[in-house]
Amino acid sequence: MPTLKMKVFHWQKLPSDVARQSRSMWAMMPNSSRELVEPDYTSLELLFSVPPTAPKEKMGPKIKKAKEITFIDPKKSFLLSIVLKQFKCSNEEIVDMIQKGDRSKLDAEILKQLLKLLPEDHEINSLKSFKEEKSELANADQFYLHLFEVPSYQLRIECMLICEETTVLLECLWPKARAIRTACETLLTSHRLPVFCQLILKVGNFLNYEVEKTHTDLLQLPRDLDFVSKAAGIHFDVMRAEASANLKKLLEIEKRLFLSTDDLKTQHAKSLQGSLDASKDLQKEFATIEKKKEELADYLCEDRKKLSLEDLFSTMTTFRELFLKALQGGNNAGHTVVVDGKEYDFHLFPSGIINPKAISFIGNGVVIHLPGLFEEAEKNEKKGLKDWEKRLIISDRAHIVFDFHQAVDGLQEVQRQAQEGKNIGTTKKGIGPTYSSKAARTGLRICDLLSDFDEFSSRFKNLAQQYKSMFPTLEIDVEGQLKKLKGYAEKIRPMVRDGVYFMYEALHGSPKKILVEGANAALLDIDFGTYPFVTSSNCTVGGVCTGLGVPPQHVGDVYGVVKAYTTRVGIGAFPTEQINEIGDLLQSRGHEWGVTTGRKRRCGWLDLVILKYAHMINGFTALALTKLDILDVLDEIKIGVAYKLGGKRIPYFPANQEILQKVEVEYETMPGWKTDTTGARKWEDLPPKAQNYIRCVENHVGVPVKWVGVGKSRESMIQLF
């Protein structure tokens, strides 16, 4: 940078004598200094100047790197570069693997890519005519030049690919084929399956009572059908089509290889023949399965041409699951509770039994099957439930479900089916008959069992005789049941309290939180539900008072629990039901099976008419909207907002089933959020469209949503306020 000079003062331009005249600064100097002095202008300039710096040398023009020469399509060249980089070795080494047929580093996907990226004829000609230095070519071009030196390089790659694909395909299909064959053989050889099918024809869904009483060997049926359940979902025809298409490719390559050079034949003939032999073995297995299928068709009295193994295995798997559920069921409608990753199935136990700090109370409104209570305890103990008997209290006014109540429940369903062509769809756990005994004032309670056992026995025998007179085929082991009941009496005695006094003390003692858990749902209430397809008790908020002996003024917040869609077990009107792929999707994603009955739940869009009706009866303080995550995959979501009859909106929920069957649902359609919500833990984590769905529910019902469930675990419940 050049030196920066000061502005030249005026006196610098004048002769020295002029500068010393008048009152100039030079004239003010002492006389002794008046000799002529010429200012050192150079020194002044340096004093008031920036120090000089050496000028930078001018840079010469940048030398541009010569651009690589390529004759290959840019996209193809780019993709090939990506493929080649995976090997971390030279082009020559990769080409050498192709020439030797070495597939150790060349899997099916890489071989497919290499085939796709082979150059066109004009690219090949341009490359071969290039006479300059090969190092100036792009990497892809250099790779191809090496590849061109290999005779029949494309056929070599195709041979390697078909052998690799065959290996992968057979590894996938062979286990499936074995599973199908084993499943077919299992169905053909199980001696229990015919008994099971006859039992279904005889008593319909009423399996648990018949099996436990007269067909105990059927308890092993689920084990027989285990192989069938493993084969369910495997599509035999799809497998066979895949294998046939691959075999066709192998045979085509074999023909081309036969016409190729001797060295190529020598190199690939063995591996290709191995793939052909393995594929033909699989075809033989398919033929064996086809014969088994024909045997099954004859065995099951089905049309050979119409029998589908997929449908058969699916049906048998459903039978297996329903059968297990029928045997595992407890007393009342059940529910699944997930805590710390463990699933508990409860029917009689309150959900709070899991909490070691909580006291659980079974109120007088519950009907109790004592064998079922202890079976439920045993099953959940295996899952980690401990010391339940120390924190469970049973009201002495609760009515008892007897074994003959359960038998009668099943017989009544059979009668309804025979007489009316339809049944109610009860759990067949004796609930209805027990409440009938209660209403007829012939029922027996826990307090009766623990009091005078002789008096209890007399009343038990009278009640049993009443049912035997109504159902002549009903067999009751009176003495055997009384003996068991006497044993249960001693087991439950430490847990039994006067329920009314217990609740009074709880309400008026030291401050505590009391959570009342209602079973079933509003639409199953004996008075307000979709009668006659209801339970036998009041499961709306009024049941808190009658089922526990709690005065109304003590009822605080009332929380309604509703899924993000609507479900129902059994028959009865269901206006928003989706008998289509939407209903199937909701059922499968939501795992909608009845905990007690094992029946597949019917599924449909969220019905806000029902929700508003439930609010009218219960007066919800807030809502818990569960299973929102089940809707994550839907493109659009509908909400039933109103019912129409004769084209006009109605402001009420119809009581009559026939009218309810005729209503037309008015829907509001919202866009789906198409986002996984299972990881959401606060409101802000939910997609805006999911938030809009929740707000829509709040606005229509007039009740705030306090909790949103996005999964099974406790951590998956988002609290909004």
Known catalytic membership, residue 122: no
From the candidates 303, 340, 454, 635, give the one annotated as an active-site residue.
Answer: 303
Q: Rounded CA gap, 180 and 47, in Å?
A: 102
DSSP label of 137: B
Q: Please say whether the dihedral angle defined by the alpha carbons of residues 332, 338, 340 and 343, taken in this order, is positive or negative.
A: positive
Per annotation, catalytic residue among 215, 235, 335, 554: 335
pLDDT reported for residue 666: 95
Decide if 428 contacts 406 (C-beta within 8 A): yes
Max alpha carbon distance in the chain (Å)?
155
Task: Give the per-residue pLDDT at 40.
Answer: 57
389 and 497 in contact (C-beta within 8 Å)? no
pLDDT in tens, 175-193: 899 989 998 888 888 887 7
| Cα distance between residue 538 and residue 196, in whole Å | 36
All residues at 6 or more sequence positions from 490 whose CB lies less than 8 Å from its CB, including other chains = none
Residue 205: predicted pLDDT: 43
Task: Name beta bridge partners: 668.
Answer: 639
- What stretches in the chain show pLDDT beneath 50? 1-8, 11, 32-34, 63, 65, 204-206, 328-330, 596-597
Q: Hey, which bits of 646-704 come out as E strands?
A: 648-650, 664-671
Which pLDDT belongs to residue 594?
A: 59
Predicted pLDDT at 5: 44
State the pLDDT at residue 157: 87
Question: Which of 183, 425, 453, 124 lies closest to 310, judged by CA?
Answer: 183
The alpha carbon torsion through 239, 242, 245, 250 (nearest 10 deg) reads -100
Give the separation between CA 360 and CA 496, rounded to whole angstroms: 12
Residue 638, beta-bridge partner list: 669
- What is d(CA 186, CA 593) in angstroms, rounded to the nearest whole number? 26
Question: Catalytic: 96?
Answer: no
Contact partners, residue 347, CB within 8 Å, separation at least 6: 329, 330, 331, 332, 333, 334, 372, 376, 429, 595, 596
Q: What is the DSSP string of 184-231?
A: HHHHHH-SHHHHHHHHHHHHTT--HHHHHHH-GGGGGHHHHTHHHHHH
Per the structure block, which two tokens stand in for 177? 């084929």
> Are the beta carbons of 231 and 118 closer than 8 angstroms?
no
Name the nearest CA neighbour of 144 among 125, 122, 119: 119
Query: Which tokens in the block code for residue 19?
Result: 């500068």
What per-residue confidence (pLDDT) applies to 329? 39
Cα–Cα distance measured from residue 626 to residue 559, given in angstroms and rounded to the nearest whole number? 13
**Could you tell me which of 168, 161, 169 has the C-alpha nearest to residue 98?**
161
Threshold 0.75, pTM exceeds: no
- Distance, CA of 11 to CA of 33 (rounded, Å): 18
Tell me the two tokens of residue 657.
């089933």
Counting other chains too, the contacts that 671-674 makes at CB distance below 8 Å and 24 or more residues apart are 671/635, 671/636, 671/637, 672/631, 672/632, 672/633, 672/634, 672/635, 672/636, 672/637, 673/631, 673/632, 674/632, 674/633, 674/634, 674/635
Neighbours of 299 (CB within 10 A): 14
Q: How far apart are CA 156 and CA 135, in angstroms?
A: 27
